[in-house]
Amino acid sequence: GTLGDFCIEEADAVLQEERDYYVLTLAVDTIAFIFAMLLYQACLSTRVKSLTNTFSLKSVFPADYIYALVFLSVLIVCDRGIYVLSSNFLRVAYHFASVGFFLGYLMVQFWSPDVRISSRSSSQQLGLQVFFAIKALSFFFCSRQIRANCPTNTLGHFLMKENVLFFSAYVVYRAVPFLPELRTMLDWTCTKTTLELFDWLRVEEIRSSMFQIDMQWHFRQKGIGRKQPWYTKTFQGFLGFAGLMILVWGPLLIYSSSNPAIVVPDLVSVSVNVTLAQGRAAFPLFQ
């Protein structure tokens, strides 16, 4: 009886420990970041009311807009670091600190005079409410992770699955500039390992190459020893070659004299004026 109850409790603890909510938290935080990137200036009053006026007057982005995006990206990085470290204490501290900050900051902005007296006060307040609702969903997943404890395996890759949708998302992830390198460097920094940074990068590159090769073999439709079908060569070969040629020669053709949109102004008249100046006196010599 006691031994059986103990085993059941241990099994439940192991299953509970392996619950991982990081992917859901990251997805919601990414949605919040995109929402802020697109609608920040529509929800909050800044010194410059719009990006159009900003570029026409100063040709710069508003400072508070950049600070907000940097702050949200830093929070995503901190969440990833705490996840890799598997620290419940840091997770709890991060959770309550972020909840307190966003609750206080958004309440201040919601009731600020600039928003309340604005002609778009209802839409601005609605945008703040939607943003807080998105962050509240992130806080929910974070609290679920705290309750379930940190998972033991935090170095896996969620997108490395034998599925067309996941593989397409992984290809997009690899295509984003510096994103795989930043993730790898952050994981190496927060992980106890004997590998050096460049060795860790090589291991990640090998794992990525093996996964992509495995997926290519998994989704390969032709049998062994058969030639490639015509539609594969048409779309990947001919259209790819044509696209590269357009990319190379297209800009030159656009800015050449054959473009009807480019009009060279005609020479109408020429004038020459030669004047000898001494102090405030001027003596025209030829005109």
Q: At residue 222, does pLDDT exceed 70?
A: no
The pair of three-digit structure tokens given for residue 37, joined into one six-digit string = 């990137």
Q: Which among 132, 92, 85, 87 has a CA at the least distance from the CA of 108?
A: 132
**Residue 115 burial (10 A CB sphere; 0-12, 13-18, 19+):** buried
What are 277's strand-pairing partners? 282
pLDDT band for position 39 (cuts 50, 70, 90): confident
Q: At residue 57, does pLDDT exceed 70?
A: no
pLDDT band for position 285 (cuts 50, 70, 90): confident
How many other CB atoms sit within 10 Å of the CB of residue 44? 20
- Residue 259 sits at φ, ψ, to 5 deg, of -75, 120
Average pLDDT over residues 148-174: 82
Q: At residue 25, does pLDDT exceed 90?
A: yes
pLDDT band for position 18 (cuts 50, 70, 90): low
The pair of three-digit structure tokens given for residue 17, joined into one six-digit string = 């420990």
Average pLDDT over residues 279-286: 75
- Residue 51 sits at φ, ψ, to 5 deg, of -65, -30
Cβ neighbours for 215, distance < 8 A, ≥ 6 positions apart: 162, 167
The pLDDT value recorded for residue 60 is 67
Residue scoring higher pLDDT (95 or 118): 95
Q: What confidence tens digit (pLDDT) does each residue in 70-85 have? A: 999 999 999 999 999 8
Q: At residue 14, does pLDDT exceed 50?
A: no
Q: Are 75 and 60 in contact (CB under 8 A)?
A: no
Q: Are 236 and 245 in contact (CB under 8 A)?
A: no
Q: At residue 205, does pLDDT exceed 70?
A: yes
Average pLDDT over residues 91-107: 94
Q: At residue 12, does pLDDT exceed 60?
A: no
Average pLDDT over residues 170-198: 90
Average pLDDT over residues 148-167: 80
Residue scoring higher pLDDT (151 or 16): 151
Q: Residue 149 region, left (φ>0) first, then alpha (ψ -120 to 50), else beta? A: left
Average pLDDT over residues 217-222: 68
Residue scoring higher pLDDT (224 or 151): 151
Residue scoring higher pLDDT (199 or 277): 199
Q: CA-CA distance, 277 to 282, in Å (whole number)?
A: 4
Q: CA-CA distance, 213 to 207, in Å (whole number)?
A: 10
Residue scoring higher pLDDT (57 or 24): 24
Q: What secondary structure does DSSP assign to 231-278, as a single string?
A: HHIIIIIIHHHHHHHHHHHHHHHHTSTT-TT--PPPP------EEEEE
Highest mean pLDDT out of 1-15, 155-169, 212-226 = 155-169
Q: CA-CA distance, 34 to 256, in Å (whole number)?
A: 39
How many other CB atoms sit within 10 Å of the CB of residue 248? 9
Q: Are 139 and 43 in contact (CB under 8 A)?
A: no
The pair of three-digit structure tokens given for residue 159, joined into one six-digit string = 């997108």
The pLDDT value recorded for residue 55 is 46
